[in-house]
Amino acid sequence: MASRKRGLGRGLSALIPDESEGYIFDEDAKKEKIVEIDVNLVVSNKDQPRKEFEKESLEELRDSIKKYGIIQPIVVRKISGKYEIIAGERRWRAAKEANLDKVPCIIKEVDDMEAIKIALIENIQRQDLNPIEEANAFKALMDNFSLTQEEVAEAVGKSRSYIANTIRLLNLDKEILDYVSQGKISAGHGKALLSVKNKKERLDIAKAIVDKNLNVRDTEKLVSRSKSKKIKEKVSQKDPFVEEVEEKLMSALGTKVNLIPGKKGGRIEIEFYNDEDLQRIVEIIANEQ
């Protein structure tokens, strides 16, 4: 297990150049040979976790590339006569839009597993993913490479609870997942909706978030009110026989009584307000008046 973690960390430092503002390479990347490769020989990574590439952002990068070129090389691996992208697909797409013939690349020799790991982690660490893409990326790391939530958290620099809560979003309905992916509602909204058990009600609240531009706190209040309403409805739907028995007991004992039927029997709850009230009720039940 330890060696697998070390391999994961090695992949991040050695294979993913720093893409922060200023395009500063890490020390390992500086030593790598940069080669110009025909843009048509470079192919997308089929396991690329990022599915959405914002058109406006891509156009801005295209214009920058036209003016300054590609400042940071694309990291690739050679496979079947082509060069599959490990890191830098957005730059490659923008380069094609800019009609570049060649793109600067660093060629790495890595196996399928390492390439997929790096593709996932590279996007996660750079916050290039929407919450659902991120959730799918975390889940893919766990499912495909037998990583625990703790190991994923360590690899991507997040807390274990962050990993767990993000993956939970995948339990939402497709319609809501689409809202989150499109940025119409946030991950915080999604987490609030997870506590709504009824699908129709969940979808109605999600639509209200979009239509009324509700913030997360407003959504949590709406969900809370919905739960309270459900509880009241459940209480009001008592069997007429149960209500009749409760009324007889309340009349006899002079206090509130709640009859709770179960699959096998049930229980009776009798309220009292002080020691004297309790003694009074006991005397009534024991017929010691």
Q: pLDDT digit string (tens) for 210-238? A: 998 989 988 888 888 776 665 455 555 66
Q: Where are the domains of the chain?
A: 2-126, 172-235, 240-286
Which class in CATH covers the domain with range 172-235? mainly alpha
pLDDT at residue 3, rounded to an integer: 38
Q: Which CATH number fits domain 2-126: 3.90.1530.30, 2.30.40.10, 3.30.300.30, 3.30.1510.10?
A: 3.90.1530.30
Inter-helix orientation angle 149-156/160-168, to 10°: 110
Say whether pLDDT at 187 is over 90. yes
How many percent of the chain have pLDDT more than 70? 79
Q: What residues does 38 pair with on adjacent strands?
A: 102
**In angstroms, rounded to a whole number, what is the distance separating the alpha carbons of residues 186 and 209?**
10
Q: Who wins on pLDDT, 255 or 97? A: 97
Selection from 93, 104, 20, 95 nearest residue 52 by Cα: 93
**In angstroms, rounded to a whole number, what is the distance separating the alpha carbons of residues 190 and 79?**
39
Say whether pLDDT at 11 is over 60. no
Least confident of 9-18, 54-63, 122-131, 196-205: 9-18
Q: Who wins on pLDDT, 184 or 113? A: 184
Selection from 274, 271, 269 nearest residue 259 by Cα: 269
pLDDT at residue 129, rounded to an integer: 77
Say whether pLDDT at 16 is over 50. no
Say whether pLDDT at 52 is over 70. no
C-beta contacts of 155-162 below 8 A and 24+ residues apart: 155/5, 155/8, 155/9, 155/12, 155/121, 156/121, 156/124, 156/125, 157/125
Q: How far apart are the first and last CA of the chain?
A: 74
pTM: 0.57
pLDDT at residue 23, rounded to an integer: 33
Token pair in block for residue 102: 């060649």
Return the active site residues. 89
